[in-house]
Amino acid sequence: MKRDGWLMVLLVLGLLAGCDKMANQKKQLPHEISPGQTSNPNVEPPAGIVARDEEPPPKPPPVTLALLRHGQERFNIYCAPCHGRVGDGHGMIVERGFPAPPSYFIDRLLAAPSQHFYDVITNGYGAMFSYADRVAPADRWAIVAYIRALQASQHAAVAQLSPDEKAALR
């Protein structure tokens, strides 16, 4: 009987020793890409797939004066602290020592499609975090329309103005 007890103890010790080796063995985590693969089908959904609780992004509404006013209001609340009220990248946050965001008047952003601005507000970009939980999709499009109005106001050629607008400049 004494011999059976020792065998049992040795068997248990052997099993416990094996558990340590199993926990420390090399394994692939679910988000890692296997050697030879270019993407992980478990992480990246196929193109065009929308989660069931996520709606596809809305299309931009037609630009109206009311939309621009609403966009200006939302811009002044959410964007102006960093981007400045005219979109030059010199807001109050920058004056307090934080990194300056790019001006909306650089060539890259003048040429960017409106969807780019919508996506940046939604997902964030660089040091800017996502505003998806703070700014409703309709408000994002209003902000984008206002950014486009800011860009047009700073780079409008006098030749493009109507005679009344030219007279107002004098």
Tell me which long-range contacts 6-13 makes (C-beta under 8 A, separation of at least 24).
none
Is the model's pLDDT at 114 over the cut of 80? yes
Name the residue among 83, 86, 146, 89 with its Cα closest to residue 114: 146
Q: Which residue has the tokens 């939604």?
A: 122
pLDDT for the residue numbered 44: 64
Residue 18 has pLDDT above 90, yes or no: no
Q: What is the DSSP letter of 9?
A: H
Q: Could you tell me what percent of the chain has a pLDDT over 90?
A: 51
- Considering only 2-16, 65-79, 94-108, 142-156, which range has the smallest mean pLDDT? 2-16
The CATH number linked to 102 is: 1.10.760.10
Q: What is the pLDDT of residue 7?
A: 84
Integer Cα distance of 79 and 83 in angstroms: 6
Contact 101, 82 (CB under 8 A): yes
Mean pLDDT of the chain: 84
Output 121 or 55, whichever has higher pLDDT. Answer: 121
In a domain, 59, yes or no: no
d(CA 13, CA 128): 54
**Total number of residues shown for the chain:** 170
Is position 57 within any domain?
A: no
Q: Which domain holds residue 134?
A: 65-169
Could you tell me which residue, 2 or 55, shows the higher pLDDT? 2
Reduced to 3 states (helix: H, G, I; strand: E, B; else coil), residue 170 is coil
Report if residue 152 sits inside a domain.
yes
Query: pLDDT digit string (tens) for 65-88?
Result: 999 999 999 999 999 999 999 999
Indicate the pLDDT class of residue 42, thresholds 50, 70 and 90: low
pLDDT at 40: 61
Query: pTM score, two decimals?
Result: 0.63
- The predicted structure's pLDDT at residue 58: 74
Angle of helix 137-154 versus helix 65-78 axis, rounded to 10: 100
**Where do we find the tokens 């400049």?**
169
Least confident of 108-122, 125-139, 144-158: 144-158
Q: Is residue 14 part of a domain?
A: no
Q: Is the pLDDT of residue 120 over 60?
A: yes
Count: domains in the chain: 1
